[in-house]
Homo-oligomer: A and B are copies of this chain.
Amino acid sequence: MSVAARLASFASTATPSESALQIMRLSLFDWAAVAIAGREEPVARILRDVEGSSGGPADASVVGVTGKQPAKIAALINGATSHSLDYDDTHFDHIGHPSVAVIPAALALAEKTQATGPDLLEAALIGAEASVAAGVWLGRSHYQAGFHQTATAGAFGATIAAAKLLYLNAKQIEHALALVSTRASGLKAQFGTMGKPLNAGIASSNGVEAALLAAAGMTSDPAALDGSQGFAETHAGMADTTAFDGLGDDWRMERVSYKFHACCHGLHAMLEAVRDVQVDPSAIRKVVIHTHPRWLTVCNQPAPQTGLEAKFSFRFVVALALYDHDTGALETYSDHICRDPDLVRLRDKVTVQEDASLTEVQARVELTFDNESSVLNGDLDQNLMIAEKKDRLRHKAQSLFGPDLAEHLHRTIEAGDVDGLAAVLRGA
């Protein structure tokens, strides 16, 4: 069976578990929160200027735009806006961010088709699950070659979410996937530029378009994903078909990671390690952070001078956390705070060491005081209970834009109110 056929069969027949749906509800809440928080980022403003005031059919809502827009435009802008802060969810198997590519496509077509909240949730979950499977199928080789799985695998997932809401049959879904395979794209060479969030928006928009075209009768060749010179072969994909084993039984989306800190993901295991510690930071003599070697080239700014640099600094961010600053709030990471004498003093007592025995999502922090020391461990794979994740995501949303909007958004999503969610986004 071709990969397109396997994914189409999954999309047509899957019955999500209740726990997977609960996680997707959290992802939907978190996605909306980071999309709202990103609405004034330059990439979001430019996309609204160029694409968002265009009239056309009033299918779907765009963050920060009063009137509704065509579905693929809404997916484009919302995808890029929600990834603009890089504060959205991550799946380490997928090697990417599932929600920013899939949810905008699902939401746009849920609005267009006047779907219910449960329909939206199911389509988003099945699309996200398919995108993670596609990410695993493409594998590490694809990422290492320079491709951005968020965008490439994301386009396949967005297509499936869109196809679900359009009630495509399995054959139509195969053609939609084959059509999107010729435009699924996105390079890591865009990292550090507006092109990175744009990649997510493009993936989402491509998914919407491919599903709409397949619904209208456009066809392609379902072998275009895994056949000769298909997507995997041309894009350094490992084409690991075991990626699809258990699809629909074991829901990988249950293991999606949320960011609770508005800084580089490489710092998060360290921040989780020190999260519950109650110490007098001025009494600390020495801090040693042990981390996976990969992160030393990513987020080891020794002495950041700007808020942006701070987001990539083990030494400074551990000081922020130990002094109880809100590492979940965007405005914490200011140029000004980089010069805070207490923080700088503590920063200069920090050493960062690589430790290949740790995974990428683990960290160990040693705090040394005059007469004692403690060792703290953080592990992002150590899954929180759903209720705890929910609490922390609510806290994150409050940190981003205050309690009133955060709680309104939370209630709206708990109620499965698609129109309400759309209205929140438009009004943001």
Partner-B contacts on A (CB < 8 A): 42-43, 46-47, 49-50, 54-57, 70, 145-148, 151, 178-179, 181-190, 192-195, 198-199, 202, 209, 212-213, 216-221, 223-224, 227-231, 233-236
Contact = CB atoms under 8 A, between A and B. Distances in A.
Contacts of A42: 217-218
Contacts of A224: 187, 189-190, 193, 195
A57 B212 CA distance: 21
Contacts of A233: 146
A183 B181 contact: no
B220 A193 contact: yes
Contacts of A57: 54-55
A354 B125 CA distance: 55
A223 B191 CA distance: 12
30 contacts: A42-B218, A50-B212, A50-B213, A50-B216, A54-B70, A55-B55, A56-B56, A145-B229, A146-B229, A146-B233, A147-B234, A151-B182, A178-B195, A179-B195, A182-B185, A182-B195, A182-B199, A183-B183, A185-B185, A187-B224, A187-B229, A187-B234, A189-B230, A189-B234, A192-B221, A193-B221, A193-B224, A194-B218, A195-B220, A198-B213
B145 A189 contact: no
List the 7 closest pairs (A to B, CB-CB), nearest first: A146-B229, A56-B56, A195-B220, A146-B234, A185-B185, A189-B224, A193-B220
Contacts of A54: 56-57, 70
A175 to B, nearest CB: 9
B202 A220 contact: no
Given A147-B234, A187-B234, A198 B221 contact: no
Contacts of A234: 145-147, 187, 189, 235-236
Contact of A216 (B46, B55, B219): B46
A85 to B, nearest CB: 17
Contacts of A70: 54, 56
A52 to B, nearest CB: 11
Nearest to A228: B189
A68 to B, nearest CB: 12
A202 B183 contact: yes
A345 B88 CA distance: 69
A218 B43 contact: yes
Contacts of A217: 42, 46
A185 B188 contact: no
B183 A186 contact: yes
B47 A187 contact: no
A358 to B, nearest CB: 26
A151 B182 CA distance: 10
A212 B50 CA distance: 7
Contacts of A182: 148, 151, 185-187, 189-190, 195, 198-199, 202
A53 B383 CA distance: 48
A424 B218 CA distance: 26
A96 to B, nearest CB: 14
Contacts of A229: 145-146, 187-189
A222 B216 CA distance: 38
B185 A184 contact: yes
Contacts of A231: 187, 189
Nearest to A188: B229
Nearest to A178: B195
Nearest to A53: B57
Nearest to A217: B46
Contacts of A194: 179, 218-220
A369 B251 CA distance: 73
Taking each of A195, A230, A233, which has the highest tally of chain B beta carbons within 10 Å of its own beta carbon? A195
B223 A189 contact: yes
A199 B228 CA distance: 18
